[in-house]
Amino acid sequence: MAGPILYSTNTWLAHDIATRYRSGKHYVWCSEYYDPTRSPSVSAAHAIAPSSSPKMIYDTLYNDCEHEDTHSALITGYKKTFKRLAKDWLSLGEINDDQFSEIILTVNSRSWKIWRPLLFIIQKDKVSNRIDHVRHKSRAAYGPEMRVLDLDVTEFDVIER
């Protein structure tokens, strides 16, 4: 049975960008299970895809950073996403040209530390009225996925290895 906690794995860079440029507001995908493979086998949570599992994302990012995997599909995807988001934020006037340049330079840097994983521990009761239950067509598999579109930096704790 799911408990009072939501788990979300994010990169250090995502946390830094949200803190520095987004007024501490984070857009996070999350799950009631850190490791869905440990959920009851008869539950829908057991059918959460590895690409949506906070544990699998954490382990993949950790290993990719630890081994400086230049072919990391996860990090390549994050790079594309942050470049697209930075363009969107610039066009909406949410960041200025200097901030846009800083984000792009950081995303393109050779640093592996910026991609290291952080596990967000979110108290469900703090965000219960803002949880978006992702529709089936947008999920990676049958299992449930959730999002919080405006998670404030004060609404979660961070764990990292």
What are the extents of the domains in the chain? 5-159
Distance, CA of 20 to CA of 99 (rounded, Å): 10
- 28 near 145, Cβ under 8 Å? no
59 φ, ψ to 5°? Answer: -60, -40
Distances (CA, A) of 108 to 69, 79, 96: 15, 8, 18
Q: What is the pLDDT of residue 1?
A: 53
Q: What is the pLDDT of residue 75?
A: 97
Q: What is the DSSP string of 110-135?
A: S-SGGG-EEEEEEEHHHHGGGEEE--
- Walk along the chain (161 residues) and give the pLDDT tens digit of each residue: 567 999 999 999 999 999 999 999 999 999 999 999 998 889 888 899 999 999 999 999 999 999 999 999 999 999 999 999 999 999 999 999 999 999 999 999 999 999 999 999 999 999 999 999 999 999 899 888 899 999 999 999 999 98
Q: What is the pLDDT of residue 40?
A: 85
Q: Which residue has the tokens 């979660």?
A: 156
Distance, CA of 125 to CA of 151 (rounded, Å): 13
